[in-house]
C-alpha cells in the first residue's frame, strides 16, 4: 500500500513538474538538474503515470464519471506530448 501511495504521489508530482516545464525558464532549470541535461526521465515518468491511468480507464464502465476520468487521462497525456514536442523528442 505504501509503495502504491508513493507511486501515485510521484506520478502527480511528475505531471505538475511537466506542466511547469511549459515555461522556458522552469524547463531550463529542471533540465539542468536531470541526468544528461535531458527531460527524458520526466517525460518517461509522465508517460508511465498515463499508462497506469489508461489501465484504470479500461476497467471502468461508460458511466458519466468514467467519461470524465478518461478525459482527465487524455489531458494528462497531452502534457507529455506537449513537453516531448517542445524538447524535439519522438
Q: Give the integer Cα–Cα distance in Å for 33 and 19.
A: 17
What digits encode the pLDDT tens for the residues 33-89? 999 999 999 999 999 999 988 888 887 766 655 788 888 889 989 998 999 998 888
- Is residue 26 within 8 Å of residue 90, measured between CB atoms? no
pLDDT value at position 4? 64
Task: Extract the C-alpha cell encoding 29.
Answer: 532549470
> Could you state, in order of their start, the residue ranges of all structural domains in the chain?
2-87
Q: What is the pTM of this model?
A: 0.82
Considering only residues 26 and 62, tell me which one the structure prediction assigns the higher pLDDT.
26
Is pLDDT at 3 greater than 70 in this prediction?
no
Cβ-based neighbours of 79, under 8 Å, separated by 6 or more: 15, 18, 19, 46
Of 41, 88, 67, 7, the residue nearest 30 (C-alpha): 41
Pairwise pLDDT comparison (43 vs 8), residue with the higher score: 43
Amino acid at each position: 500500500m505504501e509503495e502504491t501511495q508513493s507511486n501515485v504521489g510521484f506520478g502527480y508530482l511528475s505531471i505538475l513538474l511537466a506542466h511547469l516545464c511549459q515555461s522556458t525558464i522552469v524547463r531550463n532549470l529542471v533540465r539542468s538538474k536531470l541526468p544528461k541535461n535531458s527531460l527524458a526521465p520526466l517525460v518517461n515518468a509522465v508517460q508511465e503515470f498515463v499508462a497506469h491511468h489508461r489501465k484504470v480507464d479500461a476497467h471502468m464502465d461508460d458511466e458519466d464519471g468514467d467519461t470524465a476520468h478518461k478525459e482527465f487521462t487524455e489531458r494528462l497525456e497531452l502534457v507529455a506530448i506537449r513537453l516531448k514536442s517542445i524538447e524535439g523528442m519522438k
